[in-house]
Structure 1
Amino acid sequence: MRSISVTMSVTLDGVVQGLGRPDEDTRGGFAHGGWGTRYQDDVMAREMAQGMSRPGDMLFGRRTWEDFTTAWSRREDGNPFTTHLNAATKYVASTTLDDAEAWQNSALLRGDAEKTVAELKARPGNDLSVIGSASLVHTLHAAGLVDHYTLLIHPLTLGEGRRLFEGPAPLTEFTLTGCVTTTRGVLITRYDRR
């Protein structure tokens, strides 16, 4: 059985919305987009590169897949993240997409994410990693399908926005397996489900 690992940037008050750009995710009138960019440093880049260096497939929600398709699929800059993202098999869970042809090596998981991802996880193959995709992560966490979290906990609060753990979910315990502090005060924490 494959494992599912989630990597997510989060504020101290649990917000995950709009990390990278002001226009990334303005749902609900969210006006704090781009909050994470000022916290990037060499330590964070090194830690994220280690995660990307492991073989595996990727899992996206529709919204994040479309955003990443625009940002990464046409880049040819020698960036190791670009190389990894374009080479990896990318599964996109969606009830609205007709196909996943816009980005090479992408495959559509059409239908209910809880069911389609559970079926994918049960099949032999590479482990799965999720970057972003908060709505998908909510669904997978509530279904007990997430095995590992890497949380980049940023030292700020926003007071509004979509949060990582919202809505009903089962009691789930995790073990802290690692923690690195960046030069900008971000805690990169790793947790395994018990």
Structure 2
Amino acid sequence: MGKLNVFNFISLDGYYKDANNGIDWHQHGQEEGEFSAKNLEHDSILLFGRITYEMMASWWPSQNAIEAMPEVAKGMNQAEKIVCSNTLQHTTWQNTRIMSGDILTQITELKKTLPKDITILGSGNLSTQLAEAGLIDTYQLMIDPVAIGKGTSVFSGMQRQLNLKLTDTRSFKSGTVLLSYEAYN
């Protein structure tokens, strides 16, 4: 049985995207890149909402991404990917399939039947929907040492309390901190 994990980076004031839906404030240095590349070796299925998928699909297969972060680009491009969307008709990024319809039921079944983990990258709306349903097992939040003032909270729209137990911390030389949590009821 696989676990459903969330990995997201946020600003010090709790936003995963700024008021213009941008993420260019995120500083992903060499050490964070090495961490990301190592995590991609775990053969987890990557799960995205449509908006995050389109952003990722436009960047990671590009020559700029391959030159800037070759190991992360390799891992992202080779990974099995699922994009949750009721509007997307086809994908262009290799190893990607579309999941539409009743996402909650389908993710519940995947968790029961897959031998590997599923990791949600970004995808705030999808993460909130799955957290509300109690389907997310762990959260990794990479906190950048920057306050952006306005944006969208990583837990925007949550209607219930989310109880988390801190399981690990890691500090990067850049000042970025990674907090790992396990969800419990």
Q: Do they superpose with TM above 0.5? A: yes
Residues 35, 127 of structure 1: alpha-carbon distance in 2 compared, 3 angstrom cutoff: same
Distance 1:115 1:62 in 2: 18
Contact 1:92-1:109 within 8 A present in 2 as well: yes
- Stretches of structure 2 that go unaligned for 5 or more consecutive residues are none
TM-score (norm 1): 0.83
The reply on whether 1:51 has 2:42 as its aligned counterpart is: no
Q: 1:145 aligned to 2:135?
A: yes
Structure 1 runs (4+) greater than 3 angstroms displaced = 74-78
CA distance in 1, matches of 2:129, 2:14: 17
Contact 1:41/1:182 (CA < 8 Å) preserved in 2? no
1:75-103 CA-partner distances (Å, limit 9, x unpaired): 45581112111211101101111123x11
2:9 is aligned with 1:9: yes
Asked if 1:88 is matched to 2:79, the reply is yes
What is the percent sequence identity of the aligned residues?
Answer: 28
Question: CA separation in 2, counterparts of 1:53 and 1:65?
Answer: 20
CA distance in 2, matches of 1:85, 1:156: 26
Q: Distance in 1 between matches of 2:115 and 2:137?
A: 16
TM-score scaled by length of structure 2: 0.87
- The equivalences for 1:21-36 within 5 A come to 30=20, 33-36=23-26
Structure-2 residue corresponding to 1:69: 57
Shift of 1:69: 1.2
Q: Quick one: which amino acid aligns to residue 16 of structure 1?
A: Y
- Tell me if the contact between 2:37 and 2:75 (Cα under 8 Å) persists in the aligned partners: no
**What letter is aligned with 1:135?**
N
Shift of residue 180, structure 1, vs aligned partner: 1.2
The structural deviation recorded for 1:73 is 2.5
